Structures are given as structure tokens and as C-alpha cells.
Amino acid sequence: MKLKKKQRQEQLTEMIENTPFITDEELAKTFDVSIQTIRLDRLELSIPELRQRIKGVAEKQWNETVKALPVDEIIGDVVNLELDELAISILDVTADQAFSRNQIARGHHLFAQANSLAVAVINDELALTASADIQFTRPVKVGERVIAKATVVGQDEKERTIVEVKSFVNNETVFIGTFNMYRSTDG
């Protein structure tokens, strides 16, 4: 049984407050309405689209915690950050980030997402990449969403912080990188 508009909008507002990263498609299925109906509801309720919600949550968290990198220098949208532990970002690949003849993302965008996330996770005023060992495991195409996860795993023999970054598209690994990070508190 479909809900009346007012009931649906109340539940929609509550659902988005509890799970801000839920998509319009998921909401449409939940409420058994069209995606357009969800978009109209959001518009009427002044609820921003998913990308803006992600950005808002990330910027608030980013500005309160990250020390090594200004918010406008991150590649992708940070959605989770625990300094010196882990960080997660999302990058939606657009046509301007890809080769025009085959719509495959240029590797430097995936590397930049991973590298900037490795810098962001460091709890220090200065964090720089000393070295990186990277591997692209499959091409990424325009329209795909890349989720990168950076995890601090320890220190190398020079006491530099080691950050592993794995990037995924639909749970399939597309990039793996190990970043040795120099920080101002080293040696």
C-alpha cells in the first residue's frame, strides 16, 4: 500500500537524516514510487541531491579534523575519516577525466584520488608521499563510481607511515597502492 504524499515525505526526511548516502533509486524502491517522485519530494523539502549531501557531510568532517591538506585539494569526496587509521572517498568518473576515444579514465585521476586520501588520513600538519607502489587492476570507465579506502598499516624502516589504498568499482578492485608517507613528526 502506497503512502500518502505527506506521510511519504515525513518518512523520506527521516530516512535521509538517518542514512544521508542513500540514493534516489533506493528511496524510490523503498517507497514504491518513481525516481522523479523522489526528486520532486526532495526539491519540495529542500533536501539536496546525494552528491551535495555527501559533500556537506565530508566538508564538515574534513574542516574539523584534517591537518595536512586543504579541502579543495582532495580528489573525490571524503565520506569517512579517522586520522591515522582509515579514510574513504568517492570519485564519480566524468568524461573530462577520461580518454575521449574509449571513455576510460586516465590513470592519474585514480592515482590522485588514492594519493590525496593517503595524505588526508595522516594526523600531522605536513604529510608528503615519499614513495608509492601502485597497480591498476582493471580500466575504469566514464560513469563508474570509484570508492577508495586508505588504511594506515604501520611504519617502514625509516619510520615513515605506510598507507595502503584500495579502490573499488562495485566491489571489484580497480587500483591498489602502498604509499610511504613522510610526516613532519618523522625523525
Long-range contact list for 37-44, CB < 8 A, 24+ apart? Answer: 38/12, 41/5, 41/8, 41/9, 41/12, 42/12, 42/16, 44/9
Q: pLDDT tier at 72 (50, 70, 90 boundaries)?
A: low
Asked if residue 33 lies in contact with residue 8, where contact means CB atoms within 8 angstroms, the answer is yes
Residue 180: what pLDDT? 96
Q: Per DSSP, what are the bridge partners of residue 148?
A: 89, 167
Average predicted confidence (pLDDT) for the chain: 87
Give 168 or 60, the one with higher predicted confidence.
168
Cα separation values, 184 from 83, 128, 158, 175, Å: 15, 9, 13, 28
Encode pLDDT of 20-60 as tens digits. Answer: 778 888 899 999 999 999 999 988 988 878 767 666 655 55
Check the CA dihedral 69-186-179-169 and report its sign. Answer: negative
Residues 109, 97: Cα–Cα separation, whole Å: 7
Could you give the angle at which helices 5-18 and 24-31 cross, rounded to 10 degrees?
140
Q: Give the cell for residue 65.
A: 579534523
> CA geometry: angle at 132 spanning 134 and 107, to 5°?
45
Place of cell 593517503: 118
Residues 166, 94: Cα–Cα separation, whole Å: 20
Residue 158: what pLDDT? 85
Asked if residue 105 lies in contact with residue 98, where contact means CB atoms within 8 angstroms, the answer is yes
Asked if residue 80 lies in contact with residue 87, where contact means CB atoms within 8 angstroms, the answer is yes
Residues 119, 129: Cα–Cα separation, whole Å: 7
What domains can be seen in the chain, in order of their start residue? 5-47 (1.10.10.10), 64-183 (3.10.129.10)
> To the nearest 5 percent, what fractions of the chain are helix, strand and coil?
35, 30, 30
Residues 93, 71: Cα–Cα separation, whole Å: 19
Check the CA dihedral 63-66-70-71 and report its sign. Answer: negative
Encode pLDDT of 121-157 as tens digits. Answer: 998 888 899 999 999 999 999 999 999 999 999 988 8
